[in-house]
């Protein structure tokens, strides 16, 4: 036992001694580059001033033992210069460099070197592509390093890009143009002025530059540049207003790549005869590759209407809420002072009662370009069936003709009567502009759905029983405290001697008294004492009805209304025909649910389209041709619910089969046949790469589907 303990102690002592013996393993160096990847042209030669460098951080000193040691630096995509002079102490003192080959540099260490950071400048000539460097450390304290890019070559010396494309008509400021150097000094180092000139050439013959003084702002490596000049090009001693030359000063001390921002480029039409399309500018110069960029889109005068809230407001049937929207010019001078503007709601009202006056229109304020002009904009009422559904006003006289103006309407009160549901749109029409504009500003949510089983009656029979009405809340707390009224169409000889049975069959809404009105005995009143915390269903069944011999055969309507259904608006009611039937009328159960729309969107330049929020893919992109959105026909059909089997292709002819209507289209022609009648369409069918493209607006029109164009997002929107 004693011997075993002694052996254990000896092992522990040995382990303790070993822990204090210094490790003889060689520490490796940390190798990096001093700069990011440098971009230069093929054949470029680096000097000590601009070369990337290997940074070698020695974690241990190199101890000279009377025999030199070697490591190697290798290249790809570059070659070492013939003369490599690195006498500065930080470049490995007591070290010699020898070019073994174009791609291999030998580093010979002839003496001890302290633990420190040392550098090897990559004095190389770029031979093309990506230039990389690696280290083969051999048996030295310098670690191996895999091939790492330190420079790349580029055929381009500068790149051109643009800002957001704008809409213009007769004149306007086009998109900004930006020129970024890829290779430092490429735009300014030449001694020749023509090599330091950037030329902007308008390619649309119907336009010219309004002046020759765009704003040219230097940045990055050019931040301190002075002496930039701009002028029209001159031919035969005459200025060409379609060409602007931008001349840069010579600058040879660039420390980094430069950028130029060209703004306030103004164009104007040479005449009023314009075609819709694009305005393009060719950007050229010795220091950059020629580039054609689109800077504007030529559009008809137009307006955009947008919801000023983050999302459409939710309006409960029978209640009120506030909406906010703005009207903005899409093209300069679309809204001319004193021209009439008409604003209409497609659902709901701007006042709660019939024959309301314009004073019942509640608007918090009206702003022009964020300046309050409420007192300067008198409005007039627009009525539909005696209800206030819209208003009109004149474009303010102080509108700014030099900018795109925006008129904002903030917090306008709207009311949602019974019988309405779904999206509420504000439509705006300006005199002199062909197209109306609209936007969804609210969503009316129905309080309930109603299912009805009719009461079937015979003449001259007492106390007949039948019928059922189920009112189902669409969400909790939809039906409010108050009274639900069921009014049965009045008819002499029909009596209601007893109330039906009213029960809550789902949820926790609390009801009170149930009674027929003493003044109008055909109106059943149901008292609601407490709203629901869970969506509820109210069942009214076993209506008791007596008829005498004078009642004619026929059907009678049920109307549902009341303060519990519409607490804030006294108009609108839910009407259901054929609720009560006298005689032999075959009537089905009537389920009432909100109707739904299908909305589809195609975006120019995108292979993705949207059907009711679902993203779908095409095998080709939508494109714009002479101002018309072109989309493969089978995706248009899919978006509007036509199956592929209902589209026939044969000999450059496309046939679309729909109930009651056959549409035939012909490749390359602007003619469509509807059943047996021919009519002209705007745009031509086009077959490209096996796909049949159609102008979507025309196809929508032929199918009776509404289509709108959003010029801001370049989106065609279908609404079925």
Confidence band for 414, pLDDT divided at 50, 70 and 90: very high
Confidence check: pLDDT of 1 > 50: no
Query: Same domain, yes or no, for 524 and 626?
Result: no
3 state SS of 381: strand
Query: Same domain, yes or no, for 165 and 79?
Result: no
Residue finishing a domain among 136, 153, 170? 153
- The residue among 132, 181, 192 whose CA lies nearest residue 156 is 181
Query: Same domain, yes or no, for 145 and 209?
Result: no
Q: What is the CATH number of the domain that holds 246?
A: 2.60.40
Query: Same domain, yes or no, for 661 and 544?
Result: no
Domain assignment present for residue 376? The answer is yes
Domain assignment present for residue 21? The answer is no
Give residues with Cβ within 8 angstroms of 513, minimum separation 6: 525, 526, 527
Residue finishing a domain among 556, 571, 592? 592
DSSP 240: E
**And the tokens for 56?**
């070698």
Confidence band for 11, pLDDT divided at 50, 70 and 90: very low
What is the C-alpha to C-alpha distance for residues 107 and 74, in angstroms, rounded to an integer? Answer: 11
- The residue among 546, 397, 572 whose CA lies nearest residue 465 is 546
- The residue among 617, 616, 636, 646 whose CA lies nearest residue 685 is 636
Min mean pLDDT across 45-59, 426-440, 511-525, 668-682 is at 668-682
Domain assignment present for residue 461? The answer is yes
When pLDDT is averaged across residues 368-381 and rounded to a whole number, the result is 94
When pLDDT is averaged across residues 100-127 and rounded to a whole number, the result is 90
Domain assignment present for residue 15? The answer is no
Confidence check: pLDDT of 431 > 50: yes
Confidence check: pLDDT of 597 > 60: no
Query: Same domain, yes or no, for 167 and 240?
Result: yes
DSSP 353: S
Residue 608: how many CB atoms within 10 A of its CB?
Answer: 13
In this prediction, residue 9 carries a pLDDT of 39
Q: Is there a contact between 175 and 166 (Cβ–Cβ < 8 Å)?
A: yes
Maximum Cα–Cα distance across the chain:
134
Domain assignment present for residue 12? The answer is no
Tally of structural domains, the chain: 5
Query: Same domain, yes or no, for 367 and 416?
Result: yes
Taking only the tens place, the pLDDT of each residue in 478-528 is 999 999 999 999 999 999 999 999 999 999 999 999 999 988 899 999 999
Query: Same domain, yes or no, for 178 and 274?
Result: yes
In this prediction, residue 585 carries a pLDDT of 43
When pLDDT is averaged across residues 247-265 and rounded to a whole number, the result is 89
Highest mean pLDDT among 20-24, 330-334, 409-413: 409-413
Q: Which domain holds residue 197?
A: 158-298
Domain assignment present for residue 105? The answer is yes
In this prediction, residue 263 carries a pLDDT of 95
- The residue among 480, 481, 517 whose CA lies nearest residue 499 is 517
- The residue among 96, 107, 105, 111 whose CA lies nearest residue 142 is 107
**Averaged pLDDT of the chain:** 85
**And the tokens for 205?**
């013959």
Taking only the tens place, the pLDDT of each residue in 124-176 is 999 988 899 999 998 888 999 999 999 888 877 888 999 988 888 888 899 99
Give percent above pLDDT 90 in the chain.
41
Query: Same domain, yes or no, for 529 and 620?
Result: no
Q: What is the CATH number of the domain that holds 645?
A: 3.30.457.10
Query: Same domain, yes or no, for 512 and 491?
Result: yes
Residue finishing a domain among 264, 298, 332? 298
Domain assignment present for residue 303? The answer is no
When pLDDT is averaged across residues 390-399 and rounded to a whole number, the result is 93
Query: Same domain, yes or no, for 672 and 549?
Result: no
- The residue among 420, 534, 562 whose CA lies nearest residue 477 is 534
Query: Same domain, yes or no, for 556 and 640?
Result: no
When pLDDT is averaged across residues 408-418 and rounded to a whole number, the result is 91
Measured in whole angstroms, the distance separating CA 305 from the mean position of its chain's CA atoms is: 16
Min mean pLDDT across 220-224, 538-542, 601-605 is at 601-605
In this prediction, residue 637 carries a pLDDT of 78
Task: Give the N- to C-terminal CA distance of the chain in Å, as an integer.
Answer: 97
Domain assignment present for residue 517? The answer is yes
Query: Same domain, yes or no, for 69 and 111?
Result: yes
In this prediction, residue 572 carries a pLDDT of 61
Confidence check: pLDDT of 104 > 80: yes
**And the tokens for 714?**
């370049």
In this prediction, residue 598 carries a pLDDT of 64
What is the C-alpha to C-alpha distance for residues 709 and 640, in angstroms, rounded to an integer? Answer: 17
3 state SS of 645: helix
Confidence check: pLDDT of 595 > 70: no
What is the C-alpha to C-alpha distance for residues 46 and 275, in angstroms, rounded to an integer? Answer: 53
Give residues with Cβ within 8 angstroms of 98, minimum separation 6: 105, 106, 108
Min mean pLDDT across 139-153, 412-426, 437-451, 604-618 is at 604-618
């Amino acid at each position: 036992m004693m011997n075993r303990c002694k052996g254990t102690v000896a092992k522990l002592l040995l382990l303790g001694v070993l822990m204090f013996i210094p490790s003889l393993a060689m520490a490796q160096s940390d190798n990096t580059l001093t700069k990011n990847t440098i971009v230069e042209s093929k054949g470029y030669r680096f000097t000590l001033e601009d070369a990337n460098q290997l940074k070698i951080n020695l974690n241990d000193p190199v101890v000279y033992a009377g025999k030199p040691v070697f490591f190697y630096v290798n290249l790809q995509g570059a070659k070492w210069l013939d003369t490599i002079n690195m006498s500065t102490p930080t470049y490995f003192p007591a070290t010699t460099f020898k070019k073994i080959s174009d791609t291999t540099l030998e580093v010979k260490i002839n003496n001890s070197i302290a633990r420190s950071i040392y550098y090897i400048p990559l004095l190389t000539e770029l031979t093309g592509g990506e230039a990389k460097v690696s280290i083969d450390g051999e048996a030295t304290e310098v670690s191996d390093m895999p091939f790492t890019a330190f420079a790349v070559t580029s055929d381009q010396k500068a790149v051109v890009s643009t800002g957001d494309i704008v809409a213009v008509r007769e004149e306007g400021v086009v998109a900004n143009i930006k020129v970024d150097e890829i290779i430092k000094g490429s735009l300014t180092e030449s001694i020749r002025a023509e090599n330091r000139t950037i030329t902007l050439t308008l390619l649309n013959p119907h336009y010219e530059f309004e002046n020759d003084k765009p704003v040219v702002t230097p940045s990055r490596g050019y931040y301190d540049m002075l002496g930039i000049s701009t002028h029209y090009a001159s031919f035969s001693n005459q200025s060409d207003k379609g060409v602007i030359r931008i001349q840069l000063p010579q600058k040879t001390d660039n420390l980094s790549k430069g950028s130029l921002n060209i703004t306030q480029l103004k164009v104007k039409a040479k005449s009023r005869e314009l075609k819709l399309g694009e305005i393009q500018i060719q950007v050229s110069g010795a220091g950059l590759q020629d580039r054609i960029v689109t800077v504007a889109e030529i559009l008809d005068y137009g307006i955009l209407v947008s919801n000023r809230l983050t999302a459409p407001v939710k309006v409960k049937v029978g209640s009120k809420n506030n909406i906010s929207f703005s009207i903005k010019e899409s093209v300069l001078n679309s809204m001319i002072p004193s021209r009439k503007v008409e604003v209409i709601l497609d659902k709901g009202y701007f006042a709660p009662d019939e024959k309301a006056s314009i004073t019942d229109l509640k608007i918090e304020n009206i702003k022009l370009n964020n300046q309050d002009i409420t007192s300067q904009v008198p409005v007039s009422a627009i009525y539909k069936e005696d209800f206030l559904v819209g208003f009109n006003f004149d474009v303010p006289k102080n509108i700014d003709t030099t900018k795109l103006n925006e008129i904002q309407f903030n917090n306008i009160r709207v009311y949602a009567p019974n019988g309405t549901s779904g999206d509420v749109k504000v439509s705006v029409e300006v005199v002199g502009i062909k197209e109306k504009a609209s936007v969804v500003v609210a969503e009316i949510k129905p309080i309930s759905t109603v299912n009805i089983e009719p009461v079937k009656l015979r003449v001259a029979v007492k106390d007949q029983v039948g019928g059922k009405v189920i009112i189902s809340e669409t969400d909790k707390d939809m039906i409010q405290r108050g009274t639900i009224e069921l009014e049965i169409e009045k008819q002499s000889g029909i009596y209601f001697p007893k109330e039906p049975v009213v029960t809550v069959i789902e949820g926790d809404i609390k009801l009170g008294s149930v009674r027929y009105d003493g003044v109008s005995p055909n109106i059943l009143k149901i008292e609601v004492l407490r709203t629901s915390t869970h969506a509820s269903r109210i069942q009214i069944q076993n209506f008791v009805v007596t008829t005498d011999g004078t009642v004619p055969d026929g059907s009678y309507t049920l109307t549902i209304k009341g303060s519990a259904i519409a607490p804030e608006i006294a108009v609108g009611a839910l009407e259901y025909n054929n609720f009560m039937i006298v005689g032999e009328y075959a009537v089905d159960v009537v389920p009432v649910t909100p109707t739904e729309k299908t909305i589809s969107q195609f975006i120019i330049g995108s292979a993705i389209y949207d059907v009711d929020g679902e993203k779908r893919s095409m095998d080709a992109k939508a494109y714009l041709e002479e101002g018309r959105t072109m989309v493969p026909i089978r995706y248009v059909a899919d978006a509007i619910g036509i199956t592929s089997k209902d589209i026939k292709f044969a000999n450059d002819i496309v046939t679309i089969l729909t109930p009651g209507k056959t549409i035939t289209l012909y490749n390359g022609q602007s003619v469509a046949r509807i059943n047996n009648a021919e009519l002209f369409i705007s745009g031509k069918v086009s077959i490209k790469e096996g796909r049949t493209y159609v102008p979507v607006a025309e196809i929508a029109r032929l199918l009776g589907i509404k289509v709108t164009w959003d010029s801001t997002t370049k989106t065609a929107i279908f609404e079925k």
